[in-house]
Structure 1
């Protein structure tokens, strides 16, 4: 039975755009042992590549855009879902004039920045192309990420977006970001979609049972954890995240070491 680790990026294996060497080695050992490594992230495919390639991170599959897109280890898109035509523009226009907010819009190929009141770059999303709301016409958008630090402003935005377009969107929190993605898209739904894709009759693992482990620290990881056979949080995860996990691990290296340890030995240690 194949084993699969699905890992979040920022705050989990990625810190100020760097991957700790021990974690990088652990992920290589995990794959060398015949297991699957999946990155399950709110980032776009473009941002995932921009972040991970310089760090030498190789993986088997990516669940990107908070579950709206599946890609392989070469960043080739396997499946994708988009916001309804014109909706990203409507959402962007509804956010104009709000102070303390940076608004992005993402296509399959590019992360665009639409407006910025912080005038600084977040380490979570650093590479983007300027775009005006008027230039959004003719593009198909998967999501509208926004950086918003103030909790009250964040809550008002979530309530407003859900009240207006709740039938067509999900609004997911990740640290100081909110990600607006197509309805039904979550990290958990993306993980389920990937397992179904892997085990379909003509898939890479037809008819097999895939044992899934998830590793993530933030609120948008909760659906991913809930979809997994085994969910692991980080010691600094918010209580709501830790509550849906069976345990914590301080690093990817610690998690991989515990899973690659012979099960019999682990059982004896646990007695």
Structure 2
């Protein structure tokens, strides 16, 4: 039995579309007795909406970069939250240094934290925001799974991620193109895969991983994975194994 772990955005879902060849390959991969997992930085509300929209079959889902892991019945089998006092400090520091809104994922909903002026841009579609609060109310939020900060460009994303990683030791920030994902220090897609390995014991003969961004680097390195051909050069340099569609990899290994 083989395990295939795919990132979602710009790996499985490319340019706001999933190719029918990819959906067919996932179906045949699972019908052959193999396991398919999605690993994404998206929160559970956003990724489940996508799964329903495209009718994506899966065995396991890692949301929030592996902070939440679900089985194919959507039951949580793993959860890692951020220490609340650390999370509050992170959010307040982001506001002080960079301004604008910060989004927080909890079990219940996605919360957008606004500044006092209340003229911030809200990223409702991107994060499926369910509640809006002021920065003064931050201490009321419990059970924090992930913190997100949207930016204007990749350079600002790197600046924010570097600031978090340089100043806070209990969290890790993954800078993607225009989004910084902040999770507990032990959270990563690679550690999520390790959890699945342990859960499945000795049933897995080979693991395949595919991704395109900074939050995919560790799992690609650890499991000798593949990088999407249009990924940034800093990601492509970690391997010489590239793909256009994940179906290319699946079809070769069925």
- Give TM class, smaller chain: 0.7 to 0.9
Written as runs of structure 1 = structure 2, the 5 A alignment for 1:90-101 is: 90-96=89-95, 101=100
SS, match of residue 184 in structure 1: coil
Pairing of 1:4-43 with structure 2 (within 5 A): 4-15=3-14, 17-43=16-42
Aligned: 1:58 with 2:57: yes
- 1:119-198 matches, within 5 Å, as 119=121, 121=123, 125-132=126-133, 133=135, 134=137, 137-166=140-169, 168-198=170-200
Distance 1:39 1:151 in 2: 24
Query: 1-side partners of 2:243 and 2:157: how far apart?
Result: 29
- Taking the aligned partners of 2:216 and 2:9, their CA distance within structure 1 comes to 11
Change (3 A) 1:156 1:191: same
- Normalising by structure 2, we get a TM-score of 0.88
**Cα separation, 1, equivalents of 2:220 and 2:120:** 32
- The residue number in structure 2 matching 1:213 is 208
Partner of 1:255: 249
Q: Secondary structure at the residue paired with 1:142?
A: strand
In 2, the alpha carbon distance for the partners of 1:62 and 1:131 equals 27
- Partner residue, 2:231: 237
SS in 2 for 1:43: coil
Displacement after TM superposition at 1:5 (Å): 0.7
Mapped to 1, the partners of 2:240 and 2:99 lie a distance apart of 36
Q: C-alpha distance in 2, partners of 1:138/1:119?
A: 21
Q: Distance in 1 between matches of 2:141 and 2:98?
A: 28
**Greater alpha carbon shift after TM alignment, 75-84 vs 136-145:** 136-145
> How far apart are 1:122 and its partner, in Å?
7.9
Q: Distance in 2 between matches of 1:89 and 1:186?
A: 21
Question: When the two structures are aligned, how many residues end up with a matched partner?
Answer: 249
**Is the alpha carbon distance of 1:111 and 1:104 closer, same or farther for their aligned partners in structure 2, counting shifts above 3 Å?**
same
Specify whether residues 16 and 22 from structure 1 end up closer, same or farther in structure 2 by C-alpha distance, changes over 3 A only.
Answer: same
Q: Where does structure 1 lack aligned partners over 5 or more consecutive residues?
A: 200-206, 261-271
Partner Cα separation in structure 2 for residue 37 and residue 119 of structure 1: 36
| Distance in structure 1 (CA, Å) of the matches to 2:113 and 2:154 | 22
Task: Tell me, in whole angstroms, the C-alpha distance in 2 between the residues paired with 1:94 and 1:126.
Answer: 21
Unaligned runs of 5+ in 2: none
Judged with a 3 Å threshold, the aligned counterparts in structure 2 of structure 1 residues 250 and 100 are, in CA distance, closer, same or farther, namely farther
Give the TM-score, by structure 1 length. Answer: 0.83
Alignment root-mean-square deviation, CA: 2.3
